[in-house]
Chain A
Amino acid sequence: MRFSEIKDHLSQFRVGIAGAGGLGSNCAVALARSGVGTLVVSDFDVVEPANLNRQYYFTSQVGMYKSVALKENIARINPDITVIALTQKLNGRNIPEIFVGCDIMVEAFDSADMKEMLVETILTKMPGTPVVIGSGLAGWGDSDAIRYRKVDDTVYICGDQSTTVDDDMPPMAPRVGMVANMQANTVIEILMKRTRDYFRL
């Protein structure tokens, strides 16, 4: 299949990205470059200088809401993509409302308890929506430990599933980018198997 056809197919889908940090910003950019039509990105945080070691932002964007800065960056990369940028703090109540109509969800949070809350919410309140989780990306090296696993038809997990971020194991661009791009690759793999639906609302 040629890239023009792939892009055309992907353009009809809407992907939800919960969190616009290292995982979310890099994953969103990979999906935008690939032509996924609509991205719903939510993050309540603003860009800080310390984020620039791995997140897809620029020094001039420090202080901006991450989701808004990401929308700006994606517009410069691929203006055909619609980015819906939201700045609410996500919780079990607003997640199903904010991400309604999304074909797939990308879990791109930082803290483990937020990841757990998001996955539980999707599995219970958005049944049937696949979720692609990022778990285990701290530090550097050990590229081989980062892997992809399809748990079942709705749960996919990318990462080493063992390292956890702390002062001596910071998140850094290469491994965070590997997991983020693995999540994007998984999203594309799922969407490429979907048939075109002319009757989408």
Chain B
Amino acid sequence: MKIFLNNRAEEFNAETLSVSEMLELKKFSFRMRIIKINGALIPKDRYDSTFIREGDNVLMLYLMSGG
């Protein structure tokens, strides 16, 4: 499937991926982040049960400590 990840085209060798699987494949290891799929916030407890599909627009922000 082809998706947009932070406004960049990305291709994955799968028909669909859960958010957790995508994070693992991309080796995104930061613990604190905000993920939106097609504009909707995905709470952390739904990373396993939310699936990314062809054409989805995935936004990911990293929240770094310090303020």
Chain B CB within 8 A of A78 CB: no
0/1 interface trace, chain B 28-57, chain A, CB 8 Å (1 if under): 000111101001010110000000000000
Asked if B64 lies at the interface with its beta carbon under 8 angstroms from chain A, I say: yes
* Pair B62/A162 contact, Cβ less than 8 Å: yes
Smallest Cβ-Cβ distance to B41: which chain A residue: A123
The answer for the CA separation of A133 and B33 in the assembled complex, in Å, is 12
- Chain B residue total in the interface (Cβ 8 A): 17
Give residues of chain A (125-184) contacting chain B, Cβ–Cβ below 8 Å: 133-138, 151-152, 155, 157, 159-165, 171, 176
When chains A and B are docked, how far (Å) is the Cα of A160 from the Cα of B67?
13
A120-B32 in contact (CB<8A): no
Interface size class for chain A? 35 or more
> Is B25's beta carbon under 8 Å from chain A?
no
Find out whether the CB atom of B63 lies under 8 angstroms from the CB atom of A116.
Answer: yes
- Enumerate chain B interface residues (CB-CB to A < 8 A): 31-34, 36, 39, 41, 43-44, 59, 61-67
Q: List 5 A-B contacts (CB under 8 A).
A: A23-B67, A108-B67, A116-B34, A136-B64, A163-B64
Chain A residues in contact with chain B, CB under 8 A? 19, 21-24, 108-113, 115-116, 119-120, 123-124, 133-138, 151-152, 155, 157, 159-165, 171, 176
Pairs of residues from A and B, 10 with the lowest C-beta to C-beta distance, nearest first:
A165-B66, A112-B32, A110-B67, A115-B63, A112-B65, A23-B67, A123-B41, A136-B64, A164-B64, A112-B63
